[in-house]
Structure formats: C-alpha cells, structure tokens
Structure 1
Amino acid sequence: MTRLEGRPGEGSGGRRTTGRLGGRLGGRLRRTLLAGLVAAAVAVPVSAAASPDVPAPIPVALAEGAAPREVYAANLANLAGAARMARDAGRTGRADRLHAMEAEGTARFLAFDGRGRGRAVEVFGDLETADRITVLVPGSDTTLDTYQRFRSGAVTLQQRLQAEHTRSAVVAWLGYDTPGTVSATVLTAERAQEAAAELAPFLRRLEQLSIPDARLSLLCHSYGSVVCARTATGPKVGDIALFGSPGTGAASAAELPTGARVWAGRGGDDWIGRVPHVRVGAVGFGTDPVAPAFGARAFAAGPGGHSDYLKPGTTSLNSLARIVLGTPEAPRA
C-alpha cells in the first residue's frame, strides 16, 4: 500500500478556480440536470421502500427544470407531511425523528421517501459552486430511524472540509435499502448490487450538474464499501475511500469498475477487523481491503471503533478530509 500523498498542483493554494458565471452551465440546462439528479436519487423499487407499518406521502414528483430551492422546499414539505402522518398513526418515535430531520426548516433534500425504512439524499453545502463534492454511502442498519447518526457524520465532515476549503459540499446518500447488521442479507452482495444500480446514475447526474473543474469523491463505510465496489464511476470521481470495510467481493482494487484512486483504512478498535475475510460461493467478501494484497492506498484511521471514523478531531476524519481535498497526509503517529 502507498501512503496518502497530495496531488501536484492541487490543494488550497494551487487549486484552479472558476468564476461564478463562467464556471456554470446555462441555467436552463442546469435545472434540467437537477431534475435528472432528483430522478436518479429516487428511482428505487417501490417494493423496497413501501411498508404498511409506516404511513407516509408518496415522494414528490417535480417538473423538469425545477430550481434547487424548489426541490429542497418540496422534499422538506414531504418530510413534514411524513412526520404528521407518522404521529397520527401513533408512531411517535418515527415522527420525532422525522421532525429532527427537518432541522428547523433548514434541511436540503434532493430526495426523500418516508415510507418503510425510508430513503433520503441530503445536501450540505452548495452543489452549484462546490469544486470538491463528497458522497457518503452508509452501511447496514442505516434507516430513517437511525438517520441522525448518519447525518451527524456528514455534518462533521462538511465542517472539517469547510474549515480548510469553503467550496466543499457533502451529499449524504441514503439511497438504498440497507441490510440489517444481524441478517443473512448483510453477508452477500445482493443488496449492494441493487444499490449500485441506483448510485451509478446518481453520480453521473451529479457530475453533469457540478461545475467543470469539480472533483467528486466517494466515502464508503462498512457495507457501503460493498456498494461502492460495484458502482461504475465517471471521470470526475477521483477518489474512493473504503473504511470499516468487511471486504468488497473483489480480489484487488484493480478489479473495481472505476478509474479513481482507491483508499482503505480501519480503526484500531474496529470489530470488523476480526471478521474472517473469506468468500464461499455468494457468502462473504473475500480479500481484506487494508491488506497489501488488495492494492489500495493506506490512510491513517487512528485507534477508533467501527462507528468512530467521522467523529470530530479523529485521525480518521482528518485523513478522509485530506483525501477529499487532495492535500498531503500528516505523518503517522
């Protein structure tokens, strides 16, 4: 494995910038691309999201050409409606969690589906001006009922990025039906394959929507790394970071359907390191991504556990931020 290194000519001092008007696509075209991005974010099988146990409105259908503020407002209204329906149905716990997701009316969702376990794609930062865009892909047991844990990591990452580079944005992509941590589903790639079929078109639309010199990265936690390993990426995706990964199903990073640099890191107290990295038929994910044989670039992840990678002040958070920004890594402890 190689150490985390900066890219020549990049970083906060050498990064090329684009004027606000000159770097944007035409307004009408950008609105069309935004509509496609929203469609890619919500194009999921109804059977995977719907559940009679949790009533919620049908996801909003936006007209092609809707402006970002319209998209955010419509999904926020849908979220508020889902909270009301959950409360009326006696699901007060879900209702309270959905109300918290509204963030007092400031949350910005590209997509929201409150039915069943739920789907949500939330934006932190300005996608139209950011030149560093990160998509966070979560692992098992991430649902609307556990969303605040996922959201907290996205917020912390965005704050860390903004402290060094203001033109950064983070997208928290809960765009698939995550498997349960204690389930047979989490041992196979079937759910990841379905998720990759949704994530790939979302990334393509995001590439088109972003400014010409924007660079995208994928940060993939736990089972989310299995999803990312099956997702074909375009030329703007420069880096993929796998952390807390059980494996990817691939024997090496070279087998992944991407031209991006592939990184891997694991905290010293992460229980996933004690899981056997084997594959028998369709069960298991094979080669350990942090093993030299996998061929990923190593990044320092510190002593933390499986849920600690995006906590404030951690070695892992700093390493992931440097991967996103393309800046050199501090020496290992």
Structure 2
Amino acid sequence: MNQGTAPKTKQRRLIEIAVSERGDTTFSKGIAAQVAAVRGWWADKSLGEERSFTVAAPENLHSVYDLRKFLDEQRPEDAAHDEALVVYVTGHGVSRPSDDHFLLLRDSDEERLPATSFQTADLITRVLDSDADHVLVMVDSCFSGVLRKDLLRRVQALSDTRRRLKSLVVISSANEEGTPHPEQFTRFVEAVVSHLKDKKSGFAAPHLSFEEFFGAMTALYEEGVAPEVQFLWPEHSLLSRKDHHQPSPCLPNPGYEAQSVLVGNARSAVAWSAADLDSYWLSRASGQPSQGDSGWYFTGRTSHVRRMIEFLEGEGARSLSPGRQDRASPHCSLAS
C-alpha cells in the first residue's frame, strides 16, 4: 500500500477537452459517457472540498481557434506549484509518419492537419512546463500511443527539475495503432472505481499512489475488452517506480471513508479503527464472531428465556425485592 499522505494542494483543476461533434450521434453519446465517467471520479461531491477537482471545460470546440482560446483562458502553464492538474483529452485522433498526434475538431481538414487540427503534444508540453508539482494527463484518442516518441523529444526542452519530477504522469488509452471504442474507456474507468470502492480490495487511504493506480488497472485488464493503456511519461525506471509509491493529490480514492480518531498519531498504526471496533462488537452481539457462524447467543434457548421472563413477572420478582432473603426456585435455572 502507499506510504505517507498526499501533499496538500490549494487548488485542484480538471481540464476537459472533449471533441464530440466530429462523428455521428452514437459517437457523441460515447464521448459524453466518457466525460461523465471521469467527472464521476475526480469531480464527485462525495470527495469533499479537500480532494475534489473543479471542472474547466469549453462550451464549444468547433475549430482549432476555439481550443486555443480556451487554453489561453485557462493558462495551464501558469499553474502554481501547489495546484494539482488533471487533464483529460478525448475525441477523434490521427497520426502521421512523423510520430505527431493530432486531435480533430469539427472543422478540421485532414488534408491540412497542422493548420486546422490541434497537435496534442503542444498541450501536454504546456502542462508539463508549468510549476504544478502534480500532474496527470490522460489522452483517450485513436493512435495516441504515438505520443511517446514525440514527448520524449519535447521534454528535453524542459528544465532538469521538471524532467526529474516523477509526479508528472502522462498516459494514453491506445497504442500507436489502436482505435479504442468510446465504451471501452468508460467501462474501464467505472470498473476501476468499483474496484477501489470495494473494501476487500484494501484501498483505505484518502489518495492513491500511481503504483496503486497502475496496479488496479493491471488487475482489471482484459485483452480485447479494456483499452490498451500506455504509460507515456515518465520513462519507466526503478527510480520512477519508487517515487510512484507516494500518494498523489491527482488520485483521490473514491472508496475512502473518513474514520473517527480514537487514539493519538503515535498509536494509530497499531490501533483498531472505529470501523474495526464496530465490526468486532456487532459480530459478538449478534452471536457471529466469525464469518459463516449462524448466531448462537440467542438461539435454542427459547424455553429457558420464557421461564426467566415468567419468573421475573410473577412471584419470583417479589422474592428478589430489597430486604427479602428468599431465594429463587431452582426450577428457573437457565442452564442448558
């Protein structure tokens, strides 16, 4: 499980770039479902003010100028070091032999991609070059795996400090040739959320580490059903894997439940939680100290309990009143 707690952030922003108008009605509905699944994780009100993300999404994305205007308004490159950024990009994508990936908008001309579509790596580099210490970029688009080579080239322009920061993560939903169906990502995200909410999975902290995030996706992956998620940045190494054991404010745990504080910090690691205590005493009170027990405290003793009640309601009650030395009749014993 992860180590420590996630760094505190003053602001958390979910930037959505979802192009749904370049396709039929089925495609548009699929994009809407994807956006709902992402918001259902990162912008859910149940996360509370300290973990939920504020959504920033453009009203219209008809042309590349609309997207540029939105980004100029949001200015993700100006994000402060104590801000967590999650960027979700989805829509039709195309690649070229140059290893460039382009996001197609409604008015894009596939014969003039550089001029009429948006080069996805431009946005990613813009975000990575901010001061934000915690970034997660998810590109859910066809052929988005080609971004790996493009990013490896572009990040060389970043400062040494930014390149060494392993809390900046970029993933895609497809490899270099993949064309994922919109439902794949939606169902996968929903499956991961359900997995994290399952108490048996063991994810109890307020935030996840990227190692846990990757592990949950790996555990749920089914070839041909789940999207071919690619980890584009940072490059995998022992150092990056070590750093990814730390909880990230970009990954609020949807299954986290705040617990009552019963002991001080020094004993919290070995003490039972309120939930543990509730489970323990409720199981004993119901006569089920272990799973599978049928409950034995109040089972098979009906006749004895009835005799006890009759005794207490009748003459026996008076014999036990203060000042009386009478003893209860031996026939009312509760022995089994």
TM class by smaller structure:
0.3 to 0.5
Q: In terms of Rg, which structure is larger?
A: 2
| TM-score normalised according to structure 2 size | 0.35
